[in-house]
C-alpha cells in the first residue's frame, strides 16, 4: 500500500511536492524537537485547497492515515506521527488573499503566520487582536484547529469569536466552503464551529475569513504587586469597571515565576521588587493616550489607597511596553535551564484559582524529581499555565505530575485544556472535563465525518 499511495500522490501533485526517505530528515514534529527527524511514510506540500482535496481523495481511497502539520508550536503532542502516516504540511498555503478595510475582514490561507496577519491589519489601521508568544511561528490554520486563546481573551474572546467563514477539506476530499464575511447568519447549523477547536480530526482548515477591529489609538499598561489572591480578584473587578470596557489583558504571575522570569538566564530585569506574592500585568486599549494614561494613574492611586494593591509601576514609553510584555511572553527565556519539562493550560473558576493553584504547587514541589514549578496565566478568563522543570521524562513521573494538576479539576467543573487542545498527551484525562455522554456524541460526529478514521487518528480520543 505504501508504494501505491506515494505513487498516486506524486502522479497527482508532482514529485517536488511529495517528500519521502532522506528528504524527511530535515523535517520534524515540533519546533522544540528540530534535531529529531520526522518519522512518516511521506510528507506532502499542497499549495491550495484543491490540492489538499486531491491528497485526501487519494488517502481516503487507500485508507491511509493522515497527520496535519502547521507551525508546529502546539503543546499536546497533536503533531506527533508514526512511520505509517502521511503528513500534510500547510506551510505553502501562506497567502493573504484579501484585506477588506471597509468590511473589516481579512481572507487568509491556513499557513499564514499570525504575526503577518497582525502586521497586515496594522498597516490598514486595523487590529487582529489574537496575540500570544508563538505569534512569529504559529499558523492560523493550527490556531483555528485548537481554538487558541492568548493574552486578550478578556476583551476579544477566543479564536472562535474572530472567525466569520471557513473553507475545510473533509476526510474524503469533499470541500466545504463557507467563506462569508457576514457576522450574523442564522440559516441553519453554523457548521464552521464544528471545525474550530476540533484539532484537525473532522476536517482540514485551508482558508478563513477573519474578523478585524479598529486599531486602538491608545495603549496603557502597568505591573502591579499584590499580597493575596483575594486582592487579585478584587483588583480585577475594580479595574474592569474603572476602565469601562478598555481592559484587554490581565495576566497573573505567581512570585516564584516572576522571580524566574526576571532572573538569569532570563534577560529582563524586574520592574517591581520580589516582595509580593502575586504580580499582575495589565493592558488597556482605548481611544486617547493622554486621557487613558491619566485614568490608569488615577485608578492605581485609588487602588493603593484602598490597599487593593501594594505596589505598581506604569509603562510610559514603547520601551517600557516591550520590557513588561517580553517578561510575560518569552517564557522559554527562563525555563531553558530545565532539560525536561511539562506544560499545562488548565481552566477553572476564577474564585477558586488561588487555593487550587497553591495546593497544586505544594504537591508538585514535594515530588523528589521536580526541580521547579511555575504558575502564571490569563486569570481574567480562568486560564492558568504551569511549567514544571523535572529530572527526567519517565512515564511514572509524568503521570504523577499529570494527576496532581488534573485530578482536582473534576469536582470544581474545571478543564484539562483551556486553549491548547487535547492531542495525544491529554487524551487519558479527557474524562475529567467531559462526561461519557459528551464523549459519545463527539465520537458519533467523528465517525460521521471521518468514517474510516484517517484524519489525525488517535488524537483527542480513540474510536
State pTM to two decimals: 0.93
Judge whether residue 335 has pLDDT over 90.
Answer: no
Q: Cell 511514510 belongs to which residue? A: 41
Q: What is the mean pLDDT of residues 27-51?
A: 91
Helix 49-61 / helix 2-13 crossing angle, nearest 10 deg: 160
Judge whether residue 2 has pLDDT over 70.
Answer: no
- Taken in order of first residue, the domains within the chain and their CATH numbers are 1-215+429-463 (3.30.465.10), 218-332 (3.30.70.2190), 338-420 (3.30.70.2740)
User: And the C-alpha cell for 118?
Assistant: 497582525
Least confident of 5-9, 28-32, 240-244: 28-32
Q: Which residues have a Cβ under 8 Å from the Cβ of 399 and sit 6 or more positions away?
A: none
What distance in Å separates the CA atoms of residue 11 and residue 365, rounded to the nearest whole number? 56
Read off the pLDDT of residues 228-243 as tens digits, 9 standing for 90 and up. Answer: 999 999 999 999 999 9
Least confident of 103-112, 149-158, 309-318, 361-370: 149-158
Q: What is the mean pLDDT of residues 421-437?
A: 96
Work out the mean pLDDT of the chain and round it to a whole number. Answer: 95
Q: What is the mean pLDDT of residues 424-429?
A: 95
> pLDDT band at 336, cuts 50/70/90?
confident
Q: What is the mean pLDDT of residues 87-113?
A: 97
Task: Compute the C-alpha angle 298/302/307, nearest 5°.
Answer: 145
433-440: long-range contacts (C-beta < 8 A, 24 or more apart)?
A: 433/409
Read off the pLDDT of residues 349-395 as tens digits, 9 standing for 90 and up. Answer: 999 999 999 999 999 999 999 999 999 999 999 999 999 999 999 99
Express as a percent the part of the chain with pLDDT over 70: 100
Q: What is the mean pLDDT of residues 56-78?
A: 93
Q: Which residues have a Cβ under 8 Å from the Cβ of 44 and sit 6 or more positions away?
A: 9, 13, 17, 18, 19, 55, 86, 87, 88, 89
pLDDT at 339: 92
Amino acid at each position: 500500500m505504501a508504494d501505491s499511495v506515494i505513487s498516486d500522490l506524486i502522479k497527482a501533485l508532482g514529485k517536488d511536492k511529495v517528500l519521502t526517505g532522506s528528504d524527511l530528515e530535515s523535517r520534524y514534529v515540533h519546533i522544540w524537537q528540530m534535531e529529531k527527524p520526522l518519522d512518516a511514510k511521506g510528507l506532502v506540500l499542497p499549495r491550495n485547497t484543491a490540492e489538499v482535496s486531491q491528497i485526501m481523495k487519494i488517502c481516503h481511497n487507500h485508507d491511509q492515515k493522515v497527520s496535519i502539520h502547521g507551525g508546529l508550536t502546539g503543546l499536546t503532542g497533536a503533531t506527533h506521527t508514526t512511520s505509517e502516516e502521511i503528513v500534510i504540511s500547510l506551510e505553502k498555503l501562506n497567502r493573504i488573499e484579501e484585506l477588506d478595510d471597509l468590511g473589516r475582514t481579512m481572507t487568509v490561507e491556513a499557513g499564514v503566520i499570525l504575526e503577518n496577519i497582525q502586521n497586515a491589519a496594522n498597516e490598514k489601521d486595523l487590529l487582529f487582536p489574537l496575540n500570544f508568544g508563538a505569534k512569529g511561528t504559529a499558523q492560523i490554520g493550527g490556531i483555528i484547529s485548537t481554538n487558541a486563546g492568548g493574552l486578550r481573551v478578556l476583551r476579544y474572546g477566543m479564536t472562535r469569536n474572530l472567525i466569520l467563514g471557513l473553507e475545510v477539506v473533509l476526510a474524503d476530499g469533499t470541500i466545504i466552503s463557507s467563506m462569508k464575511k457576514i457576522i450574523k447568519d442564522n440559516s441553519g447549523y453554523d457548521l464552521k464551529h464544528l471545525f474550530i477547536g476540533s484539532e484537525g480530526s473532522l476536517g482540514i482548515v485551508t482558508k478563513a475569513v477573519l474578523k478585524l477591529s479598529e486599531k486602538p489609538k491608545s495603549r496603557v499598561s502597568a505591573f502591579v504587586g499584590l499580597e493575596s489572591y483575594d486582592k487579585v480578584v478584587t483588583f480585577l473587578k475594580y479595574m474592569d469597571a474603572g476602565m469601562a470596557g478598555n481592559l484587554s489583558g490581565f495576566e497573573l504571575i505567581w512570585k516564584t515565576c516572576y522571580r524566574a522570569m526576571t532572573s538569569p538566564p532570563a534577560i529582563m530585569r524586574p520592574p517591581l521588587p520580589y516582595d509580593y506574592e502575586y504580580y499582575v500585568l495589565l493592558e488597556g486599549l482605548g481611544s486617547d493616550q493622554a486621557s487613558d494614561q491619566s485614568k490608569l494613574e488615577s485608578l492605581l492611586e485609588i487602588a493603593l489607597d484602598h490597599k487593593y494593591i501594594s505596589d505598581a509601576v506604569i509603562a510610559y514609553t514603547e520601551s517600557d511596553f516591550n520590557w513588561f510584555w517580553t517578561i510575560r511572553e518569552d517564557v522559554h527565556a527562563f525555563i531553558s535551564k530545565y532539560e525536561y519539562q511539562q506544560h499545562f493550560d488548565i481552566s477553572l473558576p476564577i474564585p477558586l484559582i488561588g487555593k487550587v493553584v497553591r495546593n497544586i504547587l505544594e504537591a508538585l514541589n514535594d515530588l523528589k524529581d521536580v526541580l521547579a514549578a511555575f504558575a502564571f496565566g490569563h486569570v481574567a478568563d480562568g486560564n492558568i499555565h504551569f511549567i514544571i522543570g523535572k529530572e527526567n521524562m519517565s512515564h511514572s513521573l509524568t503521570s504523577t505530575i499529570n494527576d496532581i494538576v488534573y485530578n482536582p479539576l473534576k469536582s470544581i467543573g474545571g478543564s484539562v485544556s483551556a486553549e491548547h487542545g487535547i492531542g495525544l498527551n491529554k487524551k487519558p484525562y479527557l474524562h475529567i472535563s467531559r462526561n461519557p455522554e459528551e464523549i459519545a456524541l463527539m465520537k458519533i460526529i467523528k465517525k460521521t465525518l471521518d468514517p474510516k478514521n484517517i484524519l489525525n487518528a488517535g488524537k483527542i480520543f480513540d474510536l
